[in-house]
Structure 1
Amino acid sequence: MSRPRLPAQPTLAQLRALIAVADAGGFSEAAAELNVSQSSLSEAVGKLEDVVGLPLLRRTPAGTVVTPAGERVLSHARQAVQAASDVLLAAQETQALSGVLRVASFRSTATHLLPPALAAFRQRHPGVTIKLLDGEARGGGAAQVRSGHADLAVVIGADLPELTVVPLMLDEYLFIAPQSRGTHPVTWAELADAPLIIPPGPNSCNVLLREYLRARDIEAHVSLEIEEDSVILGMVGHGLGCSVMPRLALEPAPPGVVSLPLPEPFTRPLAVAVLPHRAHLPVIRTFTQTLIGSLKAGLPPRQRSDQAHQDALFH
């Protein structure tokens, strides 16, 4: 008696092709990024659609978009590809790590917190390639970790659903004003009247600032919205307004500005976020430990987070 024929199963290569085209927004862009031919990508996606029995991608004048069925398949495809890669990562010894580690970070933390850790990590583990991702893109660093776009992220917060969060430090917000203002204490009335220059839209620092002010019945008086921290500081230095920003975004402070404490302390808790089942992968665990060690060596005690919470990830 012949055995029943098993239904066809998608291959990892087909799933990777779907993910690449979906992320790149087109077959030619994905082919260039993966350094493969466009025809091979198209063939892989076509075979996957044959297995699924539904179209997963649709070409439009604006580019290639994912169909509703493709959206449902895509999240499982990411999990399957990531799980296959994690099999190899889990088998690695910490003395000989290799592969690619994708780290999502804000500009300020990428500028001031990550470089010492990256230098130390590269020296010990030259076989690992680090890719830095924009921590404000794709819904933020936490969303990138959940979706599989990032392996870990520097985030704001201590309690994020579906993620293991390891506290790093407290980053204090400061009032930034032209040097001519002087250094007398900042008042609530000044904060209410000050023409603020802040980042636009749903920027994480912007959201926290507005929440801080509204909790004290103050509506931010926004005079300008500017994306780059350095441009904001230049505007403040020329007397075009004031700002409130984390200390890490301010440093090094340019000439022509003063930075002062707010009337009540206001900090953003910075942390590393990872998926719980991936936290113990050697490359992720080792990089997180390296980052914590780098911060412990370089930060004053008042800015460090509780070491017990940091150790919880590894025990």
Structure 2
Amino acid sequence: MPSTKSISGPLTQPTLPQLRALIAVVDAGGFGEAAAELNMSQSSLSEAVGKLEDLAGCSLLRRSARGTLPTPAGLRAVAHARAAVQAAGDVLLAAQDDSKLSGVLRVSSIRSAATHLLPPVLLAFRQQHPGVVVKLLDVERAGLGEEQVRSGQTDMALLEVEGGLAADLRLTPLLQDDYLFVAPESRGTLPVTVQELADAPLLLSSRSDRCFQRTEAYLGRFGISADRATEIDQDSVTLSMVRHGLGITLMPRLALSPVPAGLVTLPLPEPLTRSLVLAALPHRAGLPLIRAFTSALVDSLGSSSLAGQPV
């Protein structure tokens, strides 16, 4: 049990290694995994967390059948620990010269953008800034990209937004991506009707995906329920099933580039679009590393045929 004795003076301030230790255990879900991630012994890691709990005067972590989990106090503490560790690193990032960037840039992205938009950007960025390592994280669950940026797990996120869902983040508009009706090529190119959407077997993405939620809302405008849809996690599997005549799907244009053989894509009876943006914390958007990657992505989209209509 951590001591409840208060300590006066400068020793009450936690150290960055102690904060990193707490973050690592929370993210890994256990001391062994976190120690391996930090390349330190488990006993040293436990000691760092223990000293932090002594300073806090309460337990920050608890062991359970699901691993090591943060207590309510630990959840509050780890959010500030992330911000403190990030701020310390930003001191050096802010001092970098634009022409001599270095470090690690963590970018999370929805899968279609990671597949079709980011590869040429990453290539150009690596050539211009060889001292920077870009780590790419795939996110599909709605809201995960925003959470990762807010928590400091990623520096930037390429994501979909609607309304004011990410109003607390600095958003750089990238493009408007139209949804298309996708069917077997044998269907032909006659205009799509609402009745066809109501009658045809539906093949849609997972319910936790924002794409499903947007499609569900769109179909609901016509009184069509998405509950009867077959949910499939992988776009490639969906498109293969459509090609074999097992149903139709609605999918963003970007996810269909290039359109696989054996399929036809057509406009929907009424337009459905998604807005893609690059999100960062407002106070970090001006860091040279983040600013440089943002510029590289915007410049690439300006010359890309995949981007659809710029915002």
Consecutive unaligned residues in structure 1, runs of 5 or more: 306-315
CA shift in 2, pair 1:283/1:249, >3 Å = same
Q: Deviation at 1:216? A: 3.1
Please tell me whether residue 69 in structure 1 is matched to residue 73 in structure 2.
Answer: yes
Match of 1:148, as an amino acid? Answer: G
- In the aligned structure 2, how far is the partner of 1:199 from the partner of 1:114? 22
* Percent identical residues: 60
Q: TM-score, normalised by structure 1?
A: 0.92
Paired position in structure 2 for 1:46:
50
2:207 alignment partner, one of 182, 198, 201? 201
CA shift in 2, pair 1:286/1:53, >3 Å = same
**Are the counterparts in 1 of residues 202 and 247 from structure 2 also a CA contact under 8 Å?**
yes
Describe the SS at the equivalent of 1:272: strand
Deviations 1:48-92 (A, max 9, x none): 111111111112232111111101101111110111011111000
Which stretches of structure 1, 4 residues or more, deviate above 6 A after TM superposition? none
2:225 alignment partner, one of 215, 219, 223? 219
Paired position in structure 2 for 1:253:
259
Deviations 1:178-232 (A, max 9, x none): 1221111100111112211111122011111111222333222634111000010
CA shift in 2, pair 1:266/1:73, >3 Å = same
**Are the counterparts in 2 of residues 195 and 221 from structure 1 also a CA contact under 8 Å?**
no
Q: Over the residues paired in the alignment, what is the CA RMSD in angstroms?
A: 1.7
Paired position in structure 1 for 2:243:
237
**Are the counterparts in 2 of residues 192 and 220 from structure 1 also a CA contact under 8 Å?**
no
Describe the SS at the equivalent of 1:241: coil
**Are the counterparts in 1 of residues 142 and 210 from structure 2 also a CA contact under 8 Å?**
no
Describe the SS at the equivalent of 1:13: helix
User: After the TM superposition, which residues 1-315 of structure 1 pair with which residues of structure 2 at under 5 Å, given as runs?
Assistant: 5-137=9-141, 139-157=143-161, 159=164, 160-220=166-226, 222-299=228-305, 303-305=309-311
Deviations 1:284-314 (A, max 9, x none): 0000000000010113796112xxxxxxxxx
- In the aligned structure 2, how far is the partner of 1:179 from the partner of 1:221? 26
- In the aligned structure 1, how far is the partner of 2:226 from the partner of 2:59? 48
Between stretches 146-155 and 156-165, larger displacement belongs to 156-165
Match of 2:176, as an amino acid? Answer: L
CA shift in 2, pair 1:77/1:31, >3 Å = same
Match of 1:181, as an amino acid? Answer: R
Q: Deviation at 1:7? A: 5.0
- In the aligned structure 2, how far is the partner of 1:131 from the partner of 1:18? 22
Paired position in structure 2 for 1:311:
none
Describe the SS at the equivalent of 1:73: helix
**Are the counterparts in 1 of residues 149 and 155 from structure 2 also a CA contact under 8 Å?**
yes
Describe the SS at the equivalent of 1:276: coil
CA shift in 2, pair 1:75/1:301, >3 Å = closer
- In the aligned structure 2, how far is the partner of 1:52 from the partner of 1:119? 45
Consecutive unaligned residues in structure 2, runs of 5 or more: 1-7
**Are the counterparts in 2 of residues 135 and 154 from structure 1 also a CA contact under 8 Å?**
no
How many residue pairs match? The answer is 302
Describe the SS at the equivalent of 1:69: helix
Q: Deviation at 1:16? A: 0.5
CA shift in 2, pair 1:47/1:138, >3 Å = farther
Q: Deviation at 1:134? A: 2.1
Q: Deviation at 1:28? A: 1.1
Describe the SS at the equivalent of 2:230: strand
Paired position in structure 1 for 2:5:
none
Q: Deviation at 1:176? A: 0.7
**Are the counterparts in 2 of residues 138 and 144 from structure 1 also a CA contact under 8 Å?**
no
Q: Deviation at 1:135? A: 2.3
- In the aligned structure 2, how far is the partner of 1:34 from the partner of 1:199? 36
**Are the counterparts in 2 of residues 197 and 243 from structure 1 also a CA contact under 8 Å?**
yes
**Are the counterparts in 1 of residues 93 and 287 from structure 2 also a CA contact under 8 Å?**
yes
- In the aligned structure 2, how far is the partner of 1:69 from the partner of 1:43? 19
**Are the counterparts in 1 of residues 117 and 306 from structure 2 also a CA contact under 8 Å?**
no
Paired position in structure 1 for 2:4:
none
